[in-house]
Amino acid sequence: MARKTIAGAAGPLLGMLIPLFIYIYLKRQPALDPSIVVPVHHFVIVSAVALLAAGIAVAVGISGSRLRNIQVIFLSLAFTSQALVFALHGLSTPGFLLPLTRVPAVAAQLSVLLTAFWLLMSVVPSDHPVVVSLSHVQQLLVPVWASVLLLLGIAAMARPDLVGLIPVDAPPLRTFVALLTVAILLAAGVRYWQSHRYSQFPLQLAIVYSAGWLAVVQIILLTGQVWHVSWWLYHFLLLAAMILLVAGLLSQYGTGASLGTAVRGLFTSDPKERLEAGISPSVRALVVATEAHDSYTAGHSFRVALAAVSLGEAMGVSPEQLRALAQGGIVHDVGKIEVPDAVLNKPASLAPEERILVEKHPLTGYEMCKHLGFMKDELDVIRSHHEKWDGTGYPDGLKSEAIPLLARILAIADVYDALTSDRSYRRRWSHEEARRYIQRQAGSHFDPRCVEFWAHLTEEGPLVQEPAPWSAVTAQAIGVRPVKLG
């Protein structure tokens, strides 16, 4: 395992070290490092980087808003910073629109520093108090941040002398800021690499490489000589990073099927289409991996999420919470990835030590998903869907109203689907048998109010009557690649 981990990390590590060695070699060979003063070419390259970063910011921001993922919103803020501040670097090219000023140097440094900061924020667990507070205003983060940067950029172009108030290009602050930025980028890159090892999401790997290249960019900004070939290298590194991120973004979110589903989901009243529109292909792949691990629950996550959304809608839950219920519901059992196959598929009652392993899956899923940017409501669903109204559930022994409402809603859908599915140790129950059981458990296992709405909704039959489209059986047909485990 250790050898496999080291081999896997060799790619990103070499990806960072090779351009760094090229830069050092050029610096040591003056004949290969002449000065090339071409302001117009500089503006063109910087504009290309800024436009690509802006496109990534918009695409990622839309995805983050639709998918209720604060990590993705922070990524959008990182690329917004890169786009707007680096555009200022290009516009202030000496001899283009402005004479020689401090604006280009300050803008280049701030673009990397701010990008690094938001990349770091995107790997902070989503249950951190600061992240929870920001998630409450997530819809405002990108437009407000972009407006602030735009206004500051206009001020810098109108009054270049004001840039002297931000002395990030002058010692000793220059060296401190550079070292801090490199440290932040390496920390973020390592964290994304750790996440990529089990999720295999393309965008995560693209960010790992890009973080390494940005660290090299920062070193060049600190030690490079303006206009020399070695200095030009950082512009092409930034361009390569943006192109790689676009490729990662398209690989992860850009399939025609998912785009069409997303557009339909904006206007449909069909709960199934709304649910599909709110879940990214990568999360679907995570669900496929979970259900492939437990052969008796193929399609379970989709059916549970869809039924829970229908129940929540009937109870008057807000649209934003319905999205959280869908997102949390679809991955509520992801923690089972860590439970051994022999335990999950055992055709008999579980031994006490095996029961303990199974009952850890809500906490395991919670720990996994808080590092993937899931917000508090979704994390509550993942952690608390096995709590019981009378306080005898797990993992926290919560009771009655202390159990989050969305978890109480999902618990009913979860138990119903489990009862009406074939298991290795019993046959499936009929709809009426499962319905009567849930009604009897009102006030002990389930929230009585939730059961009341459920009973009314299911009088004519099950809420979900079709197979799930994301099960391991149909994954290949719809183009979803299961993530690799181990």
Q: How confident is the model at residue 433 (pLDDT cuts 50, 70, 90)?
A: very high
> Span 270-457: which CATH code?
1.10.3210.10
pLDDT in tens, 120-130: 998 888 888 99
Q: Which of 354-363, 371-380, 385-394 has the lowest mean pLDDT?
A: 371-380
Chain region(s) in the chain for CATH 1.10.3210.10: 270-457
Q: What is the CATH number of domain 2-253?
A: 1.20.1070
Q: What value does the mean pLDDT take over residues 117-138?
A: 89
Find how far residue 335's CA is from the centre of its chain.
Answer: 17
Alpha-carbon span 284 to 483, nearest angstrom: 9
Q: Looking at 299-313, 335-349, 378-392, which range is the least confident one?
A: 335-349
* pLDDT of the residue at 264: 38
Question: Who has greater pLDDT, 462 or 268?
Answer: 462
Do residues 60 and 72 touch, judged by C-beta distance below 8 A? yes
Numbered ranges of CATH 1.20.1070 in the chain: 2-253
Average pLDDT over residues 204-223: 93
In whole angstroms, what is the distance from residue 304 CA to residue 334 CA? 13
Residue located via tokens 């009341």: 452
Distance CA 349, CA 318 (A): 40
Task: Pick the more confident residue, 285 or 162.
Answer: 162
Q: Report pLDDT digits (tens) over 362-373.
A: 999 998 888 777
Task: Yes or no: say if 406 and 305 are a contact pair by the CB < 8 Å rule.
Answer: no
Which pLDDT score is estimated for 93? 85
Which residues fall within 8 angstroms of residue 462, CB to CB, at 6 or more apart? 307, 420, 431
